[in-house]
């Protein structure tokens, strides 16, 4: 019998898209699926739609579960509730507004079977606007993997961790395919940071020696839409999430940085506070120039780092200084 996979659908007010999402799970060719839906106190009809769909299609799966919460707890706690229910060898989380490409599970399971050292696998993502129609297709990411990519095959977990200390370089997160015991070994998702469930996980995994692998196949269709939690009405000079990261960075990144990079990061944090003010964070030429002046041209650490990269080969070749 093939290994069991726990497919965990993560929902919050996903009523407009959840049936399309669940239908994409149903159509997967892999048969040994444990389906878990975990909802974070939706205020729309998401839970009712899920109950009806599960009742109609439960025979398709090895088992089904619907986990709900009486209060909204944030993404990290929501995915952990799904993980607690999972019993599969592998787990796959997917937002309720996205969908699987038809060959997703078969491709992933064949790839990890051929490469038994893999415990964390990423792949390609198709990005669409509003609906998964050809006319609304935007791009596939990542298109090509270069030596500068965090998932370049020759890069090890230590190298990946150094890259991640600067910023979250993974823009294809919805494709993550995870070995359940490995995920549990690092404590799952850190609920202290309700909206940074992915970034902290990648840092924990790479810090403990788990390399992030990549498969060059499309496995997930990702939807950009006006109701998404991470949707922004206007473009920003500084991503608003940046201002929420500081407490997380005090635990996950600063302790592992050399003093010079830590001072550089802290300087940029303080210099960017002006962009919290109304109007300053709008994506205008003046605001962009102001950001460059404050965080780079007036930043003494940027010049010190530039000099060290020229004269010190150990710094020049270190991913922390990219």
Only one residue has tokens 């929902």, namely 11
**Could you tell me the residue ranges of all domains in the chain?**
5-224, 240-321
Cα–Cα distances (Å) from 245 to 70, 193, 252, 265, in that order, read: 27, 9, 10, 12
Q: What token pair was written down for 170?
A: 């993974």
Q: Which CATH number fits domain 5-224: 2.140.10.10, 3.30.413.10, 3.40.50.1820, 3.90.550.10?
A: 3.90.550.10
Instruction: Select from 194, 164, 170 the least CA-distant residue to 80.
Output: 194
Over residues 31-48, the mean pLDDT reads 97
Distance, CA of 36 to chain centre: 19
Q: Decide if pLDDT at 232 tops 50.
A: no
Q: Decide if pLDDT at 69 tops 60.
A: yes
Q: What token pair was written down for 215?
A: 């498969």
Q: What token pair was written down for 152?
A: 């370049």
The structure's pTM equals 0.94
Give the integer Cα–Cα distance in Å for 178 and 89.
9
Q: pLDDT tens-digit profile of 265-322?
A: 999 999 999 999 988 999 999 999 999 999 999 999 999 999 999 999 888 888 888 7
Q: Tell me what percent of the chain is helix, strand and coil, each rounded to the nearest 5.
A: 45, 20, 35
Give the integer Cα–Cα distance in Å for 118 and 213.
7
Q: Decide if pLDDT at 230 tops 70.
A: no
**Residue 28 near residue 111, CB atoms below 8 Å:** no
Q: Which residues pair with 278 in a beta bridge?
A: none
Chain-wide mean pLDDT for the chain? 94
The terminus-to-terminus CA distance of the chain in angstroms comes to 46
Cα–Cα distances (Å) from 322 to 124, 162, 170, 254, in that order, read: 24, 10, 15, 16
Per-residue pLDDT at 102: 86
Only one residue has tokens 């370089």, namely 169
pLDDT-above-70 percentage for the chain: 97
Per-residue pLDDT at 315: 87
Give the integer Cα–Cα distance in Å for 288 and 59.
55
Per-residue pLDDT at 195: 85
Per-residue pLDDT at 227: 62
Instruction: Select from 88, 83, 81, 87 the least CA-distant residue to 30.
Output: 88
Query: 214 φ, ψ to 5°?
Result: -140, 140
Give the integer Cα–Cα distance in Å for 215 and 147.
15
Q: Which runs of E-coded beta strand occur in the chain? A: 5-11, 33-39, 63-67, 90-95, 99-100, 120-129, 137-141, 177-179, 213-224
Burial tier of 63 (Cβ tally within 10 Å: 0-12, 13-18, 19+) = middle
Residue 124's pLDDT band, with cuts at 50, 70 and 90, is very high
């Amino acid at each position: 019998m093939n290994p069991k996979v726990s497919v965990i659908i993560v929902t919050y007010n996903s009523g407009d898209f959840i049936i399309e999402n669940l239908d994409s799970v149903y159509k997967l060719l892999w048969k040994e699926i444990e389906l878990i839906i975990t909802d974070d106190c939706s205020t729309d009809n998401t839970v009712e739609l899920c109950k009806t769909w599960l009742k109609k299609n439960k025979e398709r799966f090895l088992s089904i579960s619907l986990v709900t919460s009486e209060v909204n707890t944030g993404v990290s706690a929501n995915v952990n509730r799904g993980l607690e229910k999972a019993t599969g060898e592998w787990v796959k989380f997917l937002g309720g507004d996205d969908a699987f490409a038809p060959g997703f599970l078969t491709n992933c399971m064949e790839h990890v079977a051929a490469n038994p050292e893999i415990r964390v696998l990423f792949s390609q993502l198709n990005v669409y606007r509003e609906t998964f129609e050809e006319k609304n297709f935007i791009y596939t990411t990542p298109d090509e993997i270069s030596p500068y990519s965090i998932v370049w095959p020759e890069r090890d977990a230590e190298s990946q961790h150094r890259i991640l200390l600067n910023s979250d370089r993974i823009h294809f997160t919805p494709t993550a395919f995870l070995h359940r015991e490995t995920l549990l070994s690092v404590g799952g998702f850190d609920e202290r940071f309700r909206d940074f469930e992915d970034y902290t996980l990648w840092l924990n995994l790479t810090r403990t020696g788990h390399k992030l692998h990549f498969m060059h196949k499309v496995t997930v269709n990702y939807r950009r839409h006006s109701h998404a939690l991470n949707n922004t009405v206007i473009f920003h000079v500084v991503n608003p999430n940046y201002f929420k990261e500081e407490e997380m960075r005090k635990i996950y990144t600063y302790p592992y940085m050399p003093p010079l990079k830590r001072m550089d990061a802290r300087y940029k944090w303080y210099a960017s506070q002006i962009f919290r003010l109304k109007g300053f964070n709008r994506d205008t030429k003046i605001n962009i120039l102001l950001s460059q002046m404050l965080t780079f041209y007036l930043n003494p650490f940027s010049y010190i780092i530039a000099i060290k990269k020229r004269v010190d080969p150990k710094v020049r070749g270190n991913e922390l200084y990219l």
